[in-house]
A and B are shown apart, each in its own frame.
Chain A
Amino acid sequence: MQLQAETKHTEHSEFVSFTVASQAFCLKITQIREIRRWQPVTVLPHAPADVLGVMNLRGAVIPIYDLSARFGLEQAEASERNVVIVVSVHDKPVGLLAESVSEIISIDPEDIQETPQVDSRNTMDFIQGIISQNDEMVRIINLNAVIASTEQVAL
């Protein structure tokens, strides 16, 4: 009986939810390396709009993406209150600008709903699924799709 309870527990995954342009998104906690306060970044010349620039992360140069621009949402000027979520994509650190981090949520995989068909390929690619949390819709980000396609553009 107890064993069953335990296995059930491990099936739950933890997600970190945050807001981007007033919409709720989340990433698996294991994908996140650290969360930092926003600091002005160094602008990259000729960079696409969703690449804010590069930041010094303890001696490493990491690119910072603006998630709102990436998702085609309204862009706001980044401020002290915003955060940079450092994730690791293909073993390389990448920073994502988000409005603010909300909470850590534990989700049963069965509660994840498929992304409903919408009329935007980007959205379909970027959003892995959705969860209902406190009557609010939280979008699970498909990290590899978000960053991989950006890299292609930059290259």
Chain B
Amino acid sequence: MTGSIMDTFFEECEELLEAMDAGLAAIEEGDQDAETVNAVFRAVHSIKGGAGAFGLDDLVAFAHNFETVFDDVRSNKLQLDEKLVQLLFRASDHLSDLVTCARDGGEVDQAHHDVLISALGEYIDDDEEELVFEPMGVGAAFDPAPLPSLAEAKEATFDIRFHPLKEMFDTGNEPYFLFQALSDLGELTVRLDDSELPGYDAMEDGESYLSWELTLVTSENRSAIEAVFEFVEGLCELSISSEGEEEADADALAALNAAFGLPPVEEESAVALPLEQPVPDAVETPAPVDAVAEVEVTPVPEVESEKVAIKAAGSKKESTKSSGPKPTLRVELDRVDRLINAVGELIINHSMLAQQIANLDVSDTRDVETELEGFKNLARDIQEGVMAIRAQPVKPLFQRMARIVREASAATGKTAKLITIGETTEVDKTVIERLADPLTHILRNAVDHGIESPEARAAAGKEKGGEITLTAAHRSGSVCIEVKDDGAGLNRKKIRQIAIDKGLIPENAELNDSEIDNLLFLPGFSTAKEISNLSGRGVGMDVVKNAVTALGGRVNISSNPGQGSVFSIILPLTLAVMDGMVVSVAGHTMVVPITAIVETMRGNDDMINNLGADGTLLSIRGSFVPICDVAGSLGLRSNTGDEPAGVYLLVETENGDRCALAVDDIHDQRQVVIKSLDGVCGNVPGVSAATILGDGKIAMILDPESIVTASSSAAVFDTDRRMSNAIAS
């Protein structure tokens, strides 16, 4: 029981931490809007509240310090300068560590913890009260939290009119606790207004009819009172006016609010957070207790239609105004995956049906085919819908990366800033999860090896702080993620020398720049001379490459000396289904991804030109592209001039090279379900995955990119082949 509640808490923490990071990032960007600051404050506050309920003391204590500083920011007592923002970032990182420790067990870096606490402490006024949160058992009363008594402060009288909406009770809020909190601020007089209470017959169950008029004599200011009502914002009609304090204005506002049924204080959406206000012991029970009890027991009646209209307007306003996330549903991933598998089977089933019908000896199948087409479209709709469930924006991933860069720059003493572009790009959840490690690695490398030290940068005439740009974008059926730094670029001479020293390439190997760059991805290559604790923990970029390849993607490096390097990761959009062209190659049925194909054509002898001993070029409208025999490249046929029947698929590789893939025939174009060969037979060169065709047979899905690179660089140094040879031997 407790376990599941705690799980929920930690799930919420994830979201809250994300919201906090997002808010902090926005603040760093210069958006110091009250709403943004509030969002962060609320996130920290909610984490604290939840942690308090579970007795996670470390977390509570830290969150409290964090929150206190933020509260001062909120009330403009503290100015958000760069130093403070950086501290807040570190604090947010630490808070997320604390949450992780609380969830998975494990030790927090105590020294770091203390440093941050004292750093935050410098910003906290000494006269701030120390709030103590006690673990709260189910059904136990709240513990009182003593609030500061500033006796010498000037007292003022506030008139508060409070009318809870029905929704307030729906969310479990309780006026009684609010009044108790108010009575703590000063001397509170409560008067119940039951004038709207209809006759017993007209009462509607669950409706709210009661209002209260409160008079509070307090030394606190208006915001302290508003803070009490913070968690019922939007769930009640509230007006606060004080004698001498813009009374007329407040009245006018209250009247307006009443007219439109709007929450008067701020315009943010009502977040149904649990009541976490410090609530005092019920020593001096204020007057409205009986009234509250009445509300609880009375089945309350329907209101006048006018009121309903007002409330409708109010809630509408709420939904449009709401800057918070859209309502979401938490579903176990397993369930979604089951659905995805079922949809995959459905698509296979469709092609089986289509094949069966084609095999039937029936002359007129048009009607059936029309229906079958409808079936296909429906299946595609379902599939897209299901995939959309799994698709998630890369934003959380990018936010985590911001942290990596912060930590990496702190550890290396360099200044680097991460700029993220395209955070809303949606990618399959699995892809996001599995990208975290490779991206972390690339970013650490970028800070550690890419960005120069501030002095070196100054000498090169660059700005002191390095810049790393992390971009995500959709590009013709794939997702492209790019990490670009403005550092020194790859040191090719050094890379080459290391590769020779480690016996990865022969000393006399002639490599062009891009081949040298790709040496980084060879296993056993690590440029760090000493194993720094940042990057180069014995694992090299080959890990990055393997992780990306396992997702059916590719990594490319490009680099300009003195200007920096770019790592691009190109990934398929979905991991489950794709559009493919069914072809036959030396008697085998295979599938080529549609996205890779520029055009298809039937060639004749006139179009084929020999180049050198065994190179052949296809002439297409005056330009020549190299021909790559798929069967030969896959080792399915000896490559001895026995050219296939001459159907060519013109493909374009990532770096813009074109190549004509020679296949025997094209059969069909259809959706295929991707079945990973991962764990079935490891990495097969030239093949990205497999699929099941309509006849139940398995067909290989080709990876044109690797076929083209394998054949074009066969004569020169070939990373992929070397790798497979090295491992196989």
User: Which residues from chain A sit less than 8 Å from chain B, CB to CB?
Assistant: 41-48, 51, 53-56, 59-63, 92, 151, 153-155
Digit string of B646-669 for contact with A (CB within 8 Å is 1, else 0)?
000000000000000000000000
Bound form: Cα–Cα A98–B117 in Å: 68
Q: Is B680 in contact with A45, judged by CB distance below 8 angstroms?
A: no
Q: Is A54 in contact with B588, judged by CB distance below 8 angstroms?
A: no
Interface centre among B341, B682, B696 (most CB of A within 10 A): B682
Say yes or no for B679: interface residue by CB 8 A criterion: yes
Say yes or no for B499: interface residue by CB 8 A criterion: no
Q: Is B682 in contact with A154, judged by CB distance below 8 angstroms?
A: yes
A-B contact pairs, 30 of them (CB 8 A): A42-B690, A42-B697, A42-B699, A44-B687, A45-B634, A45-B635, A45-B636, A45-B685, A45-B687, A45-B700, A46-B634, A46-B635, A46-B685, A46-B686, A46-B724, A48-B728, A51-B681, A53-B698, A54-B677, A56-B696, A56-B697, A56-B698, A61-B675, A61-B677, A61-B690, A61-B692, A62-B680, A63-B681, A155-B682, A155-B683
Q: Is B680 in contact with A54, judged by CB distance below 8 angstroms?
A: yes
Chain B residues, CB < 8 A from A155: 682-683, 727
The residue on A at minimum CB distance from B683 is A155
The residue on B at minimum CB distance from A93 is B680
Known: A45-B685, A45-B687, A46-B685. A63 touches B680 (CB 8 A): yes
- Tell me the residues in window 103-122 of chain B with beta carbons closer than 8 Å to chain A beta carbons: none
Q: Is B728 in contact with A44, judged by CB distance below 8 angstroms?
A: no
Say yes or no for B348: interface residue by CB 8 A criterion: yes
Interface centre among A46, A54, A63, A155 (most CB of B within 10 A): A46
Task: Pick the contact of A44: B345, B681, B724 (CB < 8 A).
Answer: B681
Bound form: Cα–Cα A59–B687 in Å: 19
Q: Is A45 in contact with B686, judged by CB distance below 8 angstroms?
A: yes
Known: A45-B634, A59-B348. A54 touches B683 (CB 8 A): no
Say yes or no for B684: interface residue by CB 8 A criterion: yes
**Minimum distance in angstroms from A78 CB to a CB of chain B:** 16
Bound form: Cα–Cα A116–B406 in Å: 62
User: Which residues from chain B sit less than 8 Å from chain A, CB to CB?
Assistant: 341, 344-345, 348, 588, 634-636, 675-677, 679-687, 690, 692, 696-700, 724, 727-728
Task: Pick the contact of A154: B635, B636, B681, B687 (CB < 8 A).
Answer: B681
Chain A residues, CB < 8 A from B635: 45-46
Chain B residues, CB < 8 A from A44: 681, 684, 687, 700
Chain A residues, CB < 8 A from B682: 151, 154-155
Bound form: Cα–Cα A51–B728 in Å: 14
The residue on A at minimum CB distance from B344 is A59
* 5 further A-B pairs in the complex, CB-CB below 8 A; given A43-B636, A154-B681: A45-B634, A47-B681, A54-B680, A54-B690, A153-B728
**Minimum distance in angstroms from B653 CB to a CB of chain A:** 19
Chain B residues, CB < 8 A from A42: 588, 690, 697-700
Chain A residues, CB < 8 A from B698: 41-42, 53-56, 61
Bound form: Cα–Cα A53–B680 in Å: 10
Q: Is A61 in contact with B686, judged by CB distance below 8 angstroms?
A: no
Bound form: Cα–Cα A47–B341 in Å: 28
Chain A residues, CB < 8 A from B724: 46
- 3 smallest beta-carbon distances between A and B, as pairs: A45-B634, A155-B682, A154-B682
Bound form: Cα–Cα A55–B693 in Å: 12
Bound form: Cα–Cα A53–B304 in Å: 75
Bound form: Cα–Cα A55–B696 in Å: 9
**Minimum distance in angstroms from A45 CB to a CB of chain B:** 4
**Minimum distance in angstroms from B189 CB to a CB of chain A:** 71
Bound form: Cα–Cα A65–B696 in Å: 20
Chain B residues, CB < 8 A from A55: 698
Bound form: Cα–Cα A14–B344 in Å: 38
**Minimum distance in angstroms from B201 CB to a CB of chain A:** 63
Chain B residues, CB < 8 A from A53: 698
Bound form: Cα–Cα A54–B589 in Å: 13
Chain B residues, CB < 8 A from A43: 588, 636
Interface centre among B344, B686, B698 (most CB of A within 10 A): B698
Bound form: Cα–Cα A59–B728 in Å: 30
Chain A residues, CB < 8 A from B697: 42, 56
The residue on B at minimum CB distance from A94 is B680
Bound form: Cα–Cα A151–B680 in Å: 8
**Minimum distance in angstroms from A86 CB to a CB of chain B:** 13
**Minimum distance in angstroms from A6 CB to a CB of chain B:** 41
Bound form: Cα–Cα A151–B727 in Å: 12
Q: Is B692 in contact with A59, judged by CB distance below 8 angstroms?
A: yes
The residue on B at minimum CB distance from A150 is B681
The residue on A at minimum CB distance from B691 is A61
Chain B residues, CB < 8 A from A154: 681-682
Chain A residues, CB < 8 A from B681: 44, 47, 51, 54, 63, 154
Chain A residues, CB < 8 A from B699: 42
Bound form: Cα–Cα A16–B728 in Å: 33
**Minimum distance in angstroms from A93 CB to a CB of chain B:** 9
Chain A residues, CB < 8 A from B677: 54, 61
**Minimum distance in angstroms from B661 CB to a CB of chain A:** 14
Bound form: Cα–Cα A60–B681 in Å: 13
Bound form: Cα–Cα A63–B687 in Å: 15
**Minimum distance in angstroms from A36 CB to a CB of chain B:** 13
**Minimum distance in angstroms from B413 CB to a CB of chain A:** 40
